[in-house]
């Protein structure tokens, strides 16, 4: 087993996740089996209770694990299936060590950070690295480990110490360290500054880890003199200083690394059995460069101030737009800005939001929690339904589509979800029986599950809360519940008759979307927005001239 540790310096959010994913991608393209582990030094057990504004979206895995969004990058880049144990947190480590202590596993010894916590970290990594993440069940050969945060953070110290010991346990030829650092370029001088990187590497080496590759994040390509200066002060060869400048698409990053000899370095440094290297990302990058037509989608949500809150949603839209040869334009709309109260308080913001919505070719209402902005989402859904605009509602978006239909078609003015109005006379959306309102973490219906399509015509039959069955007969007037869970108790998919594309799904299909295998509900939305859906259906679910077939259907909660 070969281990590649990715650390970061100077600032957090520097791009370690994309670089770790890109390293894994180019090694996998060489024929190697690659897995990935993300380490988050926070004390939380998992990411399930995080605010999207603080850490971005919570990514959900097949086994129901709620994890950091970087694991979504790993799955999309590497096309692998990870488990909740591929996301290691301080909380998980301390919980496992304390449980052992309570059972008496340490035989009365004083339990300390060194060696007990550091040993637990190493054992977790070695155990998880050997679990297959591919469909063929083969044990991985390379494990890419991303250490979250920044070198020098007090909470990451036990992990740094663990890997200082780990490099000797697994031997030098099986372990290497990539350090990602920032090269700032102040506008006042335009000069690329190396001092932050020098200080970061010095601190890392002082903690016992010496980087094998220094990947420099910069806004423009690294100058030769700057690269040589970093080489001199950071104790590496110039060829070990890799430039990762800002690029138009994250899918360019693997090619950027490969062009600078990263694969050759790993072959020599880790003695990897590398074969032919097909550049799988090359086709995607080429397509991105040649796209001329645009398609615009209005994303109506409540966390639109931070794009990372909807990372998987945006990626699913991008994958689908790429499949139909269009360049994606996402128009972010804060749903609260569509509400009448905003017209009174901030009329300019209100009219700008509605102008964005009305100028879009399709509407997407993603998942979310809480009552804020829900009325604005319902107004957007109402507009899409009446204007015959392509619409996709995911999770809460589907539930609000049912509420909108009940209010404005059936005339049930107070129709709502019990999450927002427990006293409603028409609670068309009710809490799931599994939901535990007294506990926040891990209480939803999570993970990969089956959806059964009913034997009625459906555009989707190509490939936490639930609807109240007491109102199904009335709702089925022309809002068809075409998909249910295997027990037939939960309504999972809705479609509206006589509409170009009006679909709602209770699950989160964006979590299974891949660059060359887009998610079917998102794919349908983009086809409809581009005016290609009917042609696609008439041709037997194939596109011309590239001949894509309809992607397979998987779903996660």
Q: What is the mean pLDDT of residues 264-285?
A: 74
More confident residue, 15 or 490: 15
- 71: Cα separation from own chain's centroid: 7
What pTM, to 2 d.p., does this model score?
0.83
The pLDDT value given to residue 190:
85
Query: What confidence tens digit (pLDDT) does each residue in 450-477 have?
Result: 555 555 554 444 333 455 554 445 555 5
Q: What are phi and psi of 380, to 5 degrees?
A: -65, -40
Q: What is the mean pLDDT of residues 110-123?
A: 95
d(CA 139, CA 141): 7
Catalytic site residue from 243, 395, 403, 500: 395
Catalytic site residue from 218, 495, 510, 553: 510
The pLDDT value given to residue 484:
62
CB-neighbour burial class of residue 210 (10 A; exposed 0-12, middle 13-18, buried 19+):
middle
Give yes or no for residue 550 having a pLDDT over 50.
Answer: no
Structure tokens at 503: 């679909």
More confident residue, 118 or 507: 118
Percentage, residues of the chain above pLDDT 70: 83
Per the CB < 8 A criterion, the answer to whether 203 and 160 are in contact is: no
- Those residues whose C-beta lies under 8 Å from the C-beta of residue 283, and which sit 6 or more positions away, are none
pLDDT class of 444 with cuts at 50, 70, 90: low
The ranges of the chain annotated as CATH 3.40.50.880 are: 291-435+442-539
Q: Does residue 395 carry a catalytic annotation?
A: yes
The ranges of the chain annotated as CATH 3.40.50.300 are: 2-284
Class of domain 291-435+442-539: alpha beta
CA distances from residue 250 to 31, 77, 256, 305 in whole angstroms, order as listed: 22, 10, 10, 21
SS (H, E, C) 105-167: CCCCCCCCHHHHHHHHHHHHHHHHHCCCCCCCCCCCCEEEEEECCCCCCHHHHHHHHHHHHHH
Q: Does residue 510 carry a catalytic annotation?
A: yes
Around Cβ 521, how many Cβ atoms within 10 Å? 28
Per the CB < 8 A criterion, the answer to whether 375 and 397 are in contact is: no
Query: What confidence tens digit (pLDDT) does each residue in 43-90 have?
Result: 988 887 777 777 778 888 888 888 988 899 999 988 899 999 999 999
**What fold is seen in the domain 2-284?**
Rossmann fold (3.40.50)
Look at 96-110, 171-185, 212-226, 271-285 and tell me which has the smallest mean pLDDT: 271-285
Q: Does residue 146 carry a catalytic annotation?
A: no
């Amino acid at each position: 087993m070969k281990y590649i540790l990715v650390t970061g310096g100077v600032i957090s959010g520097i791009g370690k996740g994309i670089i770790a994913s890109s390293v894994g991608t180019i090694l996998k393209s060489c024929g190697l089996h690659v897995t990935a582990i993300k380490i988050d030094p926070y004390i939380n057990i998992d990411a399930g209770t995080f605010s999207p504004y603080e850490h971005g979206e919570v990514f959900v895995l097949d086994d129901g694990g709620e994890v950091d969004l970087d694991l979504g990058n790993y799955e999309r880049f590497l096309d692998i299936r990870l488990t909740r144990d591929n996301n290691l947190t301080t909380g998980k480590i301390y919980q496992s060590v304390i449980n052992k202590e309570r059972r008496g596993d340490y035989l009365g010894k004083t339990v300390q950070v060194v060696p007990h916590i550091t040993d637990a970290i190493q054992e977790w990594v070695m155990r998880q690295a050997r679990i297959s993440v591919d469909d063929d069940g083969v044990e991985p050969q390379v494990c890419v480990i991303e250490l979250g945060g920044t070198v020098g953070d007090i909470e990451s110290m036990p992990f740094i110490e663990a890997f200082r010991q780990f490099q000797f346990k697994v031997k030098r030829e099986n372990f290497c360290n990539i350090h990602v650092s920032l090269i700032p370029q102040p506008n006042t001088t335009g000069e690329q500054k190396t001092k932050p990187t020098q200080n970061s590497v010095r601190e890392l080496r002082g903690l016992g880890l010496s980087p094998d590759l220094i990947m420099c994040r910069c806004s423009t390509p690294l100058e030769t003199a700057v690269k040589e200066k970093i080489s001199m002060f950071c104790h590496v060869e110039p060829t070990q200083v890799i430039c990762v400048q800002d690029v138009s698409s994250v899918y360019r990053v693997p090619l950027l690394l490969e062009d600078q000899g990263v694969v050759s370095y790993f072959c020599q440094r880790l003695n990897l059995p590398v074969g032919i290297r097909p550049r799988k990302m090359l086709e995607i990058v080429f397509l991105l460069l040649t796209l001329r037509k645009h398609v615009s989608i209005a994303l109506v949500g409540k966390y639109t101030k931070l794009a990372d809150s909807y990372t998987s949603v945006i990626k699913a839209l991008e994958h689908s737009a790429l499949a139909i040869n269009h360049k994606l334009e996402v128009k972010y709309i804060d749903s609260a800005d569509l509400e009448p109260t905003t017209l009174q308080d901030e009329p300019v913001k209100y009219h700008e939001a509605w102008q964005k919505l009305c100028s879009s070719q399709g509407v997407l209402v993603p998942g979310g929690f809480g009552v804020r902005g829900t009325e604005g989402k319902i107004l957007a859904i109402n507009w899409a339904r009446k204007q015959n605009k392509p619409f996709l509602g995911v999770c809460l978006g589907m539930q609000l589509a049912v509420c909108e239909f009940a209010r404005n078609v059936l005339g049930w003015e107070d129709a709502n979800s019990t999450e927002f109005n427990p006293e409603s006379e028409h609670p068309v959306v009710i809490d799931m029986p599994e939901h535990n309102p007294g506990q926040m973490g891990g209480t939803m219906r999570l993970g990969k599950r089956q959806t059964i399509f009913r034997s009625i015509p459906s555009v989707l039959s190509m490939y936490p809360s639930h609807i109240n069955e007491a109102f199904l007969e009335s709702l089925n007037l022309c809002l068809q519940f075409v998909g249910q869970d295997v027990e037939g108790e939960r309504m999972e998919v809705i479609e509206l008759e006589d509409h170009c594309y009006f679909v709602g799904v209770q699950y989160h299909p964006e979590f299974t979307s891949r660059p060359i295998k887009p998610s079917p509900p998102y794919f349908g939305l983009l086809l409809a927005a581009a005016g290609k859906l009917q042609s696609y259906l008439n041709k037997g679910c194939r596109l011309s001239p590239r001949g894509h077939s309809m992607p397979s259907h998987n779903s996660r909660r």
